Every structure is written in structure tokens, then in C-alpha cells.
């Protein structure tokens, strides 16, 4: 039956674009009804307009608190008939006002392998810590910061000469693959939540073990 999507984005909107492209190409059974941004200058709003979706700016400073802000965001989403909300580079923590309006239907993408490295500016932290792999995570949103049940992760190697920018670019390519896929699994009604574990019905096994650097035997 397809998703009626609302996308919340604060920045350039490349993840939004991957969702729009997947909808247009038939890989994702959804329509982006509206893009809402806390940043009136967000490139994501231009991408929405270019794709024929509604674009709504709800500047954060215009509301007295997070709940009041989210009431305005929820009103914009409901006005456009949204049933599922995708956070895509949205730099605000959402409140129970938004989560309560779309129970179990709010997703986020994070550019690290949660629960490691939540929050912002993660790529520099990943490199400084010396982990061999990073990646990205699509998860259901709960009231914490990047703490909700995990739907899909992609693992990306960290290279010796990586800078935060080169690592971010390698991870972003995978973000653009896993976010439309997670949404399509949701559209197909295949995601089942048990506690904080998300199961795909029927299952679709992922990749095998990865090593970085290589293991000889």
C-alpha cells in the first residue's frame, strides 16, 4: 500500500535525495508528501521542491520550546497526510509530541555503527579512537539520542589515511543504500519489533564476517 512519507532534514539532503530517487525508480513504494526543515536555507527544501514535494520551513527559534516546535512540525506533517516520518540529517532531538503522533513510524539514519559513537561529529571521534570499522545505522526513533531499535547497519572500513571527510563520504554512499531499503522493508510490513530487537520477516541474511586488516587463515 506504500508509505506516505514526511522527511525532516536540516542540511543538504542527500539522504532525502536517495529516498526521492528510490521512490521515482520504483525501489521504494512510497511518496514523499512533505519535507520539513528547521533551517529555512536547507538544501533539502530545494530538493523537495525540485521533486514536486511540499517544502515547509519551521525555524526552531520561532517556538518557545522543543514541544511547541514539534507541535508545528506535526501539524505540517498531518496536513500533508503523512503516515511515516524519516529523519534525514535532522539536527534536532524530537520530543514525545512527534513520537506520540506517529507511534512506531519514525525512523532515523546515523553515520556510525550504533550504539558506538552516537551524537554529532562522529567521524573524527571514530578515527581518533582507532576502530577499524565504522558504518551507518537506520533505526526506529525513541526518546533518546540515537538509541532506538536498529533496523539495518552497513559496515564500512576505516582506512589509515582517512580524514573525517573521506570517511564521511564513504559512509554516506552506504547511507544512500540502506535508508531506502529500510523504508521499503517497513512499506512491505516486514519489520517486527520484539523488545528492542527488529526482525525481518521473512529473514534475508546479510554479509559474513569482515576483517580489517586482513586475517590470513
C-alpha 161/C-alpha 24 separation (Å) is: 37
Question: Which C-beta is closer to ligand GRF: that of 105 or that of 110?
Answer: 110
Q: Which of 138, 139, 111, 109 is nearest to 125 (CA)?
A: 111
Site string (136-175) toward ligand GRF, x via CB under 6 A: ------------------------------------x--x
Member of 6, 15, 35, 183 binding ligand GRF (CB under 6 A): 15
Q: If residue 174 lies in a helix (H) or strand (E), which one and from where to where?
A: helix 164-187
Told to check if 109 binds ligand GRF by CB under 6 A, we report yes
CB of 217 to ligand GRF, least distance (A): 36
Site string (60-99) toward ligand GRF, x via CB under 6 A: ----------------------------xx----------
Phi, psi of 89 (to 5 degrees): 70, 35
Q: Is position 80 annotated as part of the catalytic site?
A: no
**Cβ-based burial of 46 (10 A; exposed 0-12, middle 13-18, buried ≥19):** middle
Tell me which residue has its CB nearest to ligand GRF.
89
The total of other beta-carbon atoms located within 10 Å of residue 20's CB is: 25
> Which range, of 13-21, 62-70, 153-161, 205-213, touches ligand GRF by CB under 6 A?
13-21
CB of 34 to ligand GRF, least distance (A): 16
| 57, β-bridge pairs | 37
Q: Give the SS3 label for residue 214.
A: coil
Active-site pick, 110, 123, 139, 176: 110
With the C-alpha atoms ordered 39, 148, 32, 183, is the resulting torsion angle positive or negative? positive
Residues in the chain: 217
Cis before 202? omega within 30: yes
Cis before 115? omega within 30: yes
> Which range, of 22-30, 67-75, 106-114, 194-202, touches ligand GRF by CB under 6 A?
106-114
Indicate the DSSP class of residue 156. Answer: E
Told to check if 6 binds ligand GRF by CB under 6 A, we report no
> Which range, of 12-20, 33-41, 154-162, 200-208, touches ligand GRF by CB under 6 A?
12-20
Query: Judged by CB under 6 A, how many residues of this single chain contact ligand GRF?
Result: 13
> Rule CB under 6 A: which residues touch ligand GRF?
9, 11-15, 88-89, 109-111, 172, 175
- Annotated catalytic sites, by residue? 110
Amino acid at each position: 500500500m506504500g508509505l506516505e512519507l514526511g522527511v525532516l532534514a536540516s542540511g543538504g539532503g542527500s539522504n532525502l535525495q536517495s529516498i526521492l530517487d528510490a521512490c521515482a525508480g520504483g525501489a521504494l513504494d512510497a511518496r514523499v508528501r512533505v519535507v520539513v526543515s528547521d533551517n529555512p536555507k536547507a538544501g533539502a527544501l530545494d530538493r523537495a521542491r525540485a521533486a514536486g514535494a511540499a517544502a515547509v520551513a519551521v525555524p526552531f527559534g520561532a517556538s518557545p520550546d522543543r514541544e511547541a516546535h514539534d507541535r508545528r512540525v506535526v501539524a505540517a506533517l498531518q496536513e500533508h497526510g503523512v503516515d511515516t516520518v524519516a529523519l534525514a540529517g535532522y539536527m534536532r532531538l524530537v520530543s514525545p509530541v512527534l513520537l506520540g503522533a506517529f507511534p512506531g513510524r519514525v525512523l532515523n539514519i546515523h553515520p556510525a555503527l550504533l550504539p558506538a559513537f552516537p551524537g554529532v561529529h562522529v567521524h573524527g571521534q571514530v578515527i581518533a579512537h582507532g576502530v577499524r570499522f565504522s558504518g551507518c545505522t537506520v533505526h526506529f526513533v525513541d526518546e533518546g539520542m540515537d538509541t532506538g531499535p536498529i533496523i539495518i547497519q552497513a559496515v564500512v572500513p576505516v582506512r589509515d589515511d582517512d580524514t573525517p571527510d573521506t570517511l564521511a563520504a564513504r559512509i554516506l554512499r552506504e547511507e544512500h543504500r540502506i535508508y531506502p531499503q529500510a523504508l521499503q522493508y517497513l512499506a512491505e510490513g516486514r519489520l517486527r519489533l520484539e523488545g528492542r530487537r527488529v526482525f525481518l520477516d521473512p529473514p534475508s541474511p546479510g554479509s559474513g564476517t569482515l576483517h580489517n586488516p586482513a586475517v590470513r587463515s
